[in-house]
Structure 1
């Protein structure tokens, strides 16, 4: 956040639009990289089984990245034309490598969550962000190009996962990756035991990523890369602290809920407490954005970004409910709701993306499209909260 005012004055809205489009596509492809198996790393009772899932996840990630590279190499022109991705065409073949880096980071993050090494996670996050943004600012003084933003952002996942790996290896309490007691189960059994994640969670994650990421692609297609840049900055500025806080809480809640599940204890109290806490955390700062977004963005990021502040006034609404949803999302594999959430995601994604097209054809305004999309997302997040809460209460009552 501290670097953002510097970076926005070096790179224009068009560069941010290209970066936003690339990261949107990457976000949609990322669940495919390891077929959601990293999520299962937290669940086994024994570290040996979790270590087997680490190896399985990385193996799948390598295979899927190679497959994606082959498909994009053979059909690059057709894919770019069909999805109107000309703004990011020079970076299309970089996507498979970025998928592999992101999957590796996910594996490391879930292992860290399993071992409750949150101090390591915090230190690495700070150092990685410092390196990434220093590089963006330094290179931007000489070459403020979209290429710089795209390459550095993709490479940052590789750096992040490597830093986590070496930090965990040095930690004596982690029992990490070597000398783990217990006997691993075979590959076939691991795949079978957690195949519900691949079948249900992976498409659900892709749909969720689509509903959050495709607006950048749609806005770029309908209103140009500058409008996409305005949306990308507004979304990044609000999602960055929200994701930092929300994902940190989710990664603490997830293993705790898994422990309660393994011990046949109630989970609803923890779910409610975490959700209400995140609502209280997000209420004040997001209200400030709603009331004075354009003025704040103009001061902090420069007068060229006032429009981004107008977008942010509406984005703040969906960010609030997205933040509140983190404990519910963590509860999905615990409560075995993958199938129900997949159905929910199909409907929610259709409605969210349709809202952009409806606003475009009714009013022809980029701000109207962002507003209508944000309202639709907020309603869908409330529905998700209700689904998970009801399932949690039912599960706890069954234990009585």
Structure 2
């Protein structure tokens, strides 16, 4: 048994997952250590306003560069990957300018529709966040391409440490929504700088490479055409998925007020820890692994099934504990004001468990050339989740029921996505004669 365990741990894939997970574990441990302090300093309503801001940003950030950064891992040659990185930065700059124009002209309309007048002074930060986040994505994907998982782990740890220290200091000085929102706005910029630092350590010439645009127009055009499925299919899919993920915060705010959004935000944050710790680590390592497997003619469906089942076993304990003891745990850790968040968390756990499991599925879809399917599936997901939340409000007038219906629907949809993707991968393998 011990020899089998040693053999598993010696595998490069497992080593890389453990390396990423170690850095993420440190980052999440810091978040957990600071969370009881931060939640007590700011309270549910302030946290709810932050949740709304983060949700607005999260809807735009993934498509800031039309998901071009995700393609950086795929080319065989670094030259093509660098062209993709430059293209992503240029697109992000253009999108940020468009966002600034929209915010300047439609600021009052946006604030009224989502009932978030408290953000009137800070909504102008959104275009900046979009640009900084795109730079962060480029740095992260470049390091993943180079398999510098130790560097991404260090960046995650240092980012969490700096961010949580700043939030705590800000809360001790002035515990208002504006402080939390401003810190969050510059958070991705801090991580982008950390990733750039580690990228320069890996390649001291990266700055000159990224700023060299001689004869670049033709190369950027070529790589854009080669990876056109990312802006055409993946970007809309990611945007719709982000809207779907953000629906509860926006609709709970509109229906039940900022405190409900705060309860949901803290519940989703806590239940996102296993995904951030293990699920993302597996996903980041699995992506270049399955891309390589596709190029070398390996069986992709076997890889997807094995990784998914592994995550299914790992996720039972953490999510099961929250289902059983959610309200008590949240009241003890975050304070009496947050017991309702524990009720939310019980239901969110069901959805989060299957979301945790589907990381290999999500990473496999670009390699399987199934991004058009993913876009259609995500549109169905958005409509179904919207209906679930609306039923909770209009039929039951209950925030807890709304979250329960939303979460059950999300869990069932994630199961369907996993099964369909395995079917697609088997067909893909048969077509290649694997």
Match of 2:84 in 1: 53
Match of 2:57 in 1: 26
Unaligned runs of 5+ in 2: 1-31
1:176 Cα deviation after fit: 4.5
Query: What's the TM-score, normalizing by structure 2?
Result: 0.88
Checking the alignment, whether the CA contact within 8 Å between 2:297 and 2:432 is kept in structure 1 is yes
1:179 Cα deviation after fit: 6.8
Match of 2:244 in 1: 211
Query: How many residue pairs were aligned?
Result: 397
1:156 aligns with 2:187: yes
1:310 aligns with 2:351: no
1:214 Cα deviation after fit: 1.7
Question: For 1:202-281, what aligned pairs fall within 5 Å after superposition?
Answer: 202-281=235-314
Measure the CA separation in 2 of the matches of 1:195 and 1:225. 40
Checking the alignment, whether the CA contact within 8 Å between 2:282 and 2:360 is kept in structure 1 is yes
Measure the CA separation in 2 of the matches of 1:154 and 1:274. 34
Match of 2:20 in 1: none
1:294 Cα deviation after fit: 0.4
Measure the CA separation in 1 of the matches of 2:254 and 2:302. 45
User: What RMSD, in angstroms, separates the aligned Cα atoms of the two structures?
Assistant: 1.6
**Structure 1 residue runs of 4 or more that deviate by more than 6 Å after TM superposition:** none
1:90 Cα deviation after fit: 2.5
Query: What's the TM-score, normalizing by structure 1?
Result: 0.96
Match of 1:65 in 2: 96
1:199 aligns with 2:232: yes
Task: Provide Cα deviations, 1:322-358, integer angstroms capped at 9, x if missing partner.
Answer: 1101111101110011111111111111001110001
1:72 Cα deviation after fit: 1.1
Question: For 1:259-338, what aligned pairs fall within 5 Å after superposition?
Answer: 259-338=292-371
Match of 1:89 in 2: 120
Measure the CA separation in 1 of the matches of 2:309 and 2:265. 28
Checking the alignment, whether the CA contact within 8 Å between 1:51 and 1:177 is kept in structure 2 is no
Q: 1:117 to 1:176 in 2, by over 3 A?
A: farther
Match of 1:123 in 2: 154
1:28 Cα deviation after fit: 0.7
1:195 Cα deviation after fit: 1.6
Checking the alignment, whether the CA contact within 8 Å between 2:274 and 2:356 is kept in structure 1 is no
Measure the CA separation in 1 of the matches of 2:419 and 2:207. 39
395, 412, 416: which one aligns with 1:383: 416
1:43 Cα deviation after fit: 0.5
Measure the CA separation in 2 of the matches of 1:24 and 1:139. 21
1:101 Cα deviation after fit: 1.1
SS in 2 for 1:258: helix
Q: 1:179 to 1:207 in 2, by over 3 A?
A: closer
1:386 Cα deviation after fit: 1.3
SS in 2 for 1:34: coil
Q: 1:371 to 1:29 in 2, by over 3 A?
A: same
Checking the alignment, whether the CA contact within 8 Å between 1:33 and 1:65 is kept in structure 2 is yes
Task: Provide Cα deviations, 1:189-236, integer angstroms capped at 9, x if missing partner.
Answer: 122111211111111101111111121011011101111111111111
Match of 1:107 in 2: 138
Checking the alignment, whether the CA contact within 8 Å between 2:274 and 2:315 is kept in structure 1 is no
Checking the alignment, whether the CA contact within 8 Å between 1:254 and 1:330 is kept in structure 2 is yes
Task: Provide Cα deviations, 1:252-276, integer angstroms capped at 9, x if missing partner.
Answer: 0000111111222221222112111
Q: 1:252 to 1:49 in 2, by over 3 A?
A: same
Checking the alignment, whether the CA contact within 8 Å between 1:290 and 1:314 is kept in structure 2 is yes
Unaligned runs of 5+ in 1: none
Measure the CA separation in 1 of the matches of 2:284 and 2:62. 17
Measure the CA separation in 1 of the matches of 2:371 and 2:275. 24
1:17 aligns with 2:53: no
Checking the alignment, whether the CA contact within 8 Å between 2:286 and 2:363 is kept in structure 1 is yes
